[in-house]
Amino acid sequence: MELWGDGATKAWSIGFTFHDQEVPVVATDTIRLVSTGMWTPSRVLTNADLERMVDTTSDWIVERTGIHERRIADDDIGVVDMGCNAAHEALAEAGLDPSGVDAIIVSTATPDRLLPATACDIQARLGANQAVAFDLWGACSGWLYALNVARGLILSGQIENALCVATEKMSAITDWTDRATCVLFGDAAGAAVVQRSDREGRGILASYMRSDGSLAELLHRPPSSAQPIPIDIAEIAHRNGFIRMAGREVFKNAVRSMCEAVDAVLEQAGISKDDVDLLVPHQANIRIIEATAKYANIGMDRVWVNVDRYGNTSSATIPVGLHEARQVGRIRDGSLVLMVTFGAGLTWAGALLRW
Ligand code: ACO
């Protein structure tokens, strides 16, 4: 095997000889998604069901959020189960045996347990015994963060591939008596196998990650290890671990930060908004999606929407969206896909992908 350096472009080549002919394998300076997978529970919770649980109406939920139904995992299903289901599908498509996985990077806001990392439990379940496994806490932005961390590890030569998993059981941290939040969330998992791209101009063309911890109180989930364990029952109820959100403020920041991410990745890649084939945004609220698409000048016919069927599944929304869009042929070889997200932290991120 010999190296054919190519300093003019950012690509370099490893050649091999086959029947006396030199066959180049281009290794670019980015990564590509080799495969995707997803899993959602079969149990459906409709708006009509919620009308019987809290003081709300299906009309209000649809008008304010675009959500019609969401999936809810059974009590005995955890994020490790869910993440493994999505991972199995992605590994199968990639033709990658779990023992060949170099890294498992998991995004979850709802771990089955706080120690060890969910990624380690997924590693053990998959039998990916050669991998390093760790979690990322990026809330809804976690999967795009994971993709970017995998990109850095691969391009720095530390690993050759990574399994990026988002697995979220939002139903477990939802206060089912709080109408302001319980109508929004659902459960899902998504996954992708990534490796160095072997075709120039294909793969992740640009990535962007930001955070603003000063806005953390807008969307958070107690308790914390900084607080002593409460002995008073009322205090326990107050700190019961459900998600708390200042919806209107989060809404404004969501639109602002997703638009910023759109500009950042397109500018980085030197690509016009007109060239984007499909926008796969975080699915929190149809009005946030529409505002982002309008800003990006991308018609809703070029936007992947599944918030109506799944609600907000936190960091799982983008890998699930990618997988579904591929399955129905909305993402094909060469498609230019723009992904933008925001979440608790606040965090926000974007990535531009040429499939
Ligand atoms: N049914 C009926 N009425 C409701 C409901 C409900 N489910 N929820 C709230 N209301 C009422 C409120 O009490 C309020 O009544 P009031 O005017 O008498 O006080 C009224 O509806 C309007 O409430 P707003 O909060 O102003 O409604 P808004 O149009 O902002 O919609 C929503 C609320 C859907 C939560 C919206 O603000 C939103 O989507 N925010 C962003 C949420 C989000 O994206 N979260 C991301 C989470 S990301 C992560 O990391 C998990």
In the reported structure, the alpha carbon of residue 180 is separated from the centroid of ligand 1 by a whole-number distance in angstroms of 5
pLDDT for the residue numbered 221: 83
Q: Residue 239's pLDDT is what?
A: 61
Range of the domain at 292: 203-354
CA 55 to ligand 1 center in whole angstroms: 13
Same domain? For 118 and 215 the reply is no
Domain count along the chain: 2
Does a structural domain hold residue 334? Answer: yes
Same domain, 36 and 109: yes
The answer to whether 135 and 85 are in contact (CB under 8 A) is no
Domain boundary among 181, 196, 211: 196
Q: Are residues 52 and 176 in the same domain?
A: yes
From 84, 120, 140, 182, the catalytic residue:
140
User: Which residue's CA is the nearest one to ligand 1's atom 20?
Assistant: 180
> Which ligand 1 atom minimizes the distance to the CA of 347?
50
- Cβ neighbors of 34 (< 8 A, separation 6 or more) are 93, 94, 96, 161, 192, 193, 194, 195
**50 within domain boundaries:** yes
Per-residue pLDDT at 24: 46
Same domain, 72 and 189: yes
**Can you read off the two tokens belonging to residue 112?**
């089955």
At 247, which helix (H) or strand (E)?
helix 247-269
Of 196, 220, 254, the residue that ends a domain is 196
Residues 191, 49 share a domain: yes
Look at residue 58 in the predicted model and tell me its pLDDT.
98
Specify the residue with its C-alpha closest to ligand 1, atom 21: 180
CA of 295 from ligand 1 middle (Å) equals: 22
**Claim to verify: residue 186 and residue 303 sit in the same structural domain:** no
343 within 8 A of 211, measured Cβ to Cβ: no
Pick the last residue of a domain from 196, 225, 247: 196
Q: Which residue has the tokens 């997924």?
A: 122
Quick check: is 233 in a domain? yes
State the distance from the centre of ligand 1 to the C-alpha of 298, rounded, in angstroms: 26
Specify if 75 maps to a domain. Answer: yes
68 is catalytic: no
- The protein residue whose alpha carbon is closest to atom 13 in ligand 1 is 180
Same-domain status, 221 and 175: no
Q: Which two tokens stand for residue 75?
A: 């009590």
- The pick from 177, 244, 248, 287 for probing ligand 1's pocket by mutation, whose C-beta has the most ligand atoms within 8 angstroms, reads 248
Report residues of the chain scoring pLDDT below 50: 1-18, 23-24
pLDDT digits (tens, 9 = 90+) for 267-298: 999 999 999 999 999 999 999 999 999 999 99
Q: Are residues 225 and 282 in the same domain?
A: yes
Residue nearest to atom 36 of ligand 1 (CA): 247
pLDDT of amino acid 30: 92
**Annotated active-site residue in 84, 85, 164, 282:** 282
149 close to 209: Cβ distance less than 8 angstroms: no
Q: Which residue out of 85, 259, 312, 323 is catalytically annotated?
A: 312
Would you say residue 179 lies in a domain? yes
pLDDT at 332: 96
CA distance 198 to 30: 9
The total of other beta-carbon atoms located within 10 Å of residue 45's CB is 21
DSSP 3-state percent helix, strand, coil across the chain (nearest 5): 40, 25, 35
Do 239 and 111 lie in one domain? The reply is no
- Both 254 and 172 in one domain: the answer is no
Angle 199-103-30 from CA coordinates, rounded to 5°: 25
Q: Which atom of ligand 1 is nearest to the CA of 65?
A: 34
Nearest atom within ligand 1 for CA of residue 285: 39
Give CA separation, 61 vs 145, 286, 307, 310, in Å. Answer: 30, 11, 12, 13
Q: Is residue 249 part of a domain?
A: yes
Q: Which amino acid is it at 257?
A: S
> In terms of domains, do 163 and 235 share one?
no
Which two structure tokens, joined as six digits, stand for 129?
């015994």
Ligand 1 residue neighbourhood (C-beta within 6 Å): 56, 60-61, 64-65, 139-140, 179-180, 183, 219, 245, 247-248, 250-251, 254, 284-285, 312, 314, 343-344
Q: How far is the CA of 346 from the centre of ligand 1 (A)?
A: 18
- Paired with 69 in beta bridges are 46
Q: Is residue 264 situated within a structural domain?
A: yes
Among the atoms of ligand 1, which is closest to the Cα of residue 287?
39
Tell me, yes or no, if 140 is annotated catalytic: yes
Reported as a single tens digit per residue, the pLDDT across 296-319 is 999 999 999 999 999 999 999 999
Give CA–CA dist 303/41, Å, rounded: 24
Residue 190's CATH number: 3.40.47.10
Catalytic site includes residue 312: yes
User: What phi and psi, each to the nearest 5 degrees, are found at residue 324?
Assistant: -65, -45
Could you tell me if 181 and 227 lie in one domain?
Answer: no
